[in-house]
Amino acid sequence: MRNFSILLLVFTVLFSCKEADYYNKNALIIDQVTLIDPIDGSAKNKTVVVQNGKILKIISSNKINLDSKNHIIDGKGKYLIPGLWDAHVHFAYLETLAPSMFDLFLRHGITSVRDTGGKVAFVKHWKDSAIANPTEAPRVMMAGPLLDGTPNVYNGSSPRLPELSVGMATIQDVEKEIKELMAADVDLFKAYEMLLPEQFLKIMELAKANGLKVTGHIPLSMDAISVSEAGLHSIEHLRNLDLSCASNAEELLKERQTLLNQGSNRSGNDLRNSVWKAQQEIAIANFDQAKADTILATFKKNNTWQVPTLALNTLFTEKYFADEEYQKSYALLPSPLKKYWTERSNALKNYPVNTFRKKYDAWQTMMVGKINVTKIPIMAGTDTPIAYLVPGLSLHVELEALVRAGLTNLEALQTATINPAKYFDLQKDLGRLQEGYYADLVLLTENPLDNISHTKKIEVVIKAGKIYNPQ
């Protein structure tokens, strides 16, 4: 009986003690922090233990003894979120900026990116570099070049139109390009606007055969429902969605197809712009809510994700580039680019916005709200570095735009954390604050659930367990 009492005492002491301080000296501890998980929401007074680049333990702070040998970050009064994604970037748009983009992304809490178009060898260099140095760079998922028809839009004809695409005239061209992209180990394909319907369908067929997703724009020769039914997994920028939501959408599609056939001797960009000029105002003037509802129901049924790039789409009405604090970030850019962006931003600040542009931007914001209400998955992307969108910082501008469109702060956070992880079937490893997940983390000084702008209040960024001070 005496031996049993001693044994009972030992067990009582063991199980009443705090969690043992068994973590070795290489452990990173974030103590007494409030977690902001994109699924579970807020959880106060937690201690997060990071080892070997992953979250080892998440414990109530009053249940752990801290060992001074560990690297301890005081999280009291602070907020921890998963590392953020920018789901629409272009390393190849400004090749001189590309060497700075890793640091700019990490500085602003972006620990993963999806490159949606550029010369495959150039973009693959950055993807391979990120794989080789996982604590030094954001994770890079790549599409390779824009898969376009002829004439193609991004053909290298000017600085505004760098060579981001391949122009394909035949089905055989599509097959050849897909084969080369598979050999380059791309993560998805990007279908573009000048594709013929048969080319688009061949891309979808080959993507399915190779187990890859296709993102893209709605080709001008097609409509929103047909691309969704064909299996397009995500649509960028809401591009050309307006043309399918008009009461006279069928008439507009026939007219577009005629304009495209007649304009084959023009440049891709000129031809595209002429189609938009002929149809966008008509489409918005004839917006049909019932048609839009049918399209969104189809997107929902087919799981056709949306990457609205709303900050980019509304740049002339919202003018993020005119903000003095935003322009301070230009100091982080290479000198010639800093000068050019500053001059252009200030010149555009007073650029008059015409009535249609205001209507169009309001329509896009409204549609993002409807997409969210319909529960169609959304990912946050920016198109950086197009349109003075600073790599990293611009993602926070996009989150603010999504909240203005009607997303809650938590929903906006999901678009840049768990949603992109799900898109790439990485939801068991990334995008949440859970034990066993990669330690891609951002420590904030204020609560993003109170104000999504607080995602910019960054104290520490952690990439695969490595600590970065944004300053």
* pLDDT at residue 11 tops 60: no
CA atoms within 13 A on the CB side of 196: 16
* pLDDT at residue 142 tops 90: yes
* pLDDT at residue 301 tops 60: yes
Of 66 and 448, more confident: 448
* pLDDT at residue 470 tops 90: no
Residue 368 has what pLDDT? 98
Rounded (5°) CA angle 261-236-432:
160
pLDDT, average across residues 373-389: 98
* pLDDT at residue 139 tops 60: yes
Q: Give the separation between CA 232 and CA 189, rounded to whole angstroms.
A: 10
Q: Is 206 helix (H, G, I), strand (E, B) or coil?
A: helix
Helices (H) and strands (E) counted in the chain, each on its own, are 18, 17
Is residue 372 within 8 A of residue 406, CB to CB? The reply is yes
Q: pLDDT grade, residue 17 (50/70/90)?
A: very low
Is residue 83 within 8 A of residue 441, CB to CB? The reply is yes
The two three-digit tokens of residue 398, written as one number: 């996009």
| Locus of tokens 């050849």 | 176
Residue 25 has what pLDDT? 66
Tens of pLDDT along 163-208? 999 999 999 999 999 999 999 999 999 999 999 999 999 999 999 9
Q: Give the separation between CA 48 and CA 440, rounded to whole angstroms.
A: 12
Query: In the chain, pLDDT over 90 holds for what percent of residues?
Result: 90
The two three-digit tokens of residue 210, written as one number: 């190779």
pLDDT, average across residues 296-301: 98
* pLDDT at residue 16 tops 50: no
For the whole prediction, is pTM greater than 0.85? yes
Q: Give the separation between CA 106 and CA 128, rounded to whole angstroms.
A: 17
Query: In the chain, pLDDT over 70 holds for what percent of residues?
Result: 95
Phi, psi torsion values for 210, nearest 5 degrees = -100, 5
Q: pLDDT grade, residue 20 (50/70/90)?
A: very low
Q: Give the separation between CA 46 and CA 59, rounded to whole angstroms.
A: 6
Of 62 and 469, more confident: 469
Rounded (5°) CA angle 394-34-48:
100
For residue 243, the surrounding DSSP H or E stretch is: helix 241-244
Which domains does the chain carry? Answer: 18-81+433-471 (2.30.40.10), 84-430 (3.20.20.140)
Is residue 146 within 8 A of residue 154, CB to CB? The reply is yes
Mean of all residue pLDDT scores within the chain: 94
> In DSSP terms, which residues pair with 81 in a beta bridge?
442
Q: pLDDT grade, residue 64 (50/70/90)?
A: confident
Neighbours of 100 (CB within 10 A): 16
The two three-digit tokens of residue 122, written as one number: 């150039």
DSSP 18-87: PBP----TT-EEEEEEEEEETTTEEEEEEEEEEETTEEEEEEEGGGBPPPTTSEEEE-TT-EEEEPEEEE
Q: Give the separation between CA 449 and CA 452, rounded to whole angstroms.
A: 6
Residue 66 has what pLDDT? 77
Q: Give the separation between CA 139 and CA 84, rounded to whole angstroms.
A: 11
Is residue 151 within 8 A of residue 267, CB to CB? The reply is yes
276 CA to centre of own chain:
26
Q: Which amino acid is at 95?
A: E
Phi, psi torsion values for 145, nearest 5 degrees = -70, 160
pLDDT, average across residues 38-62: 94
Residue 471 has what pLDDT? 79
pLDDT, average across residues 318-327: 95
Tens of pLDDT along 229-251? 999 999 999 999 999 999 999 99
* pLDDT at residue 15 tops 60: no
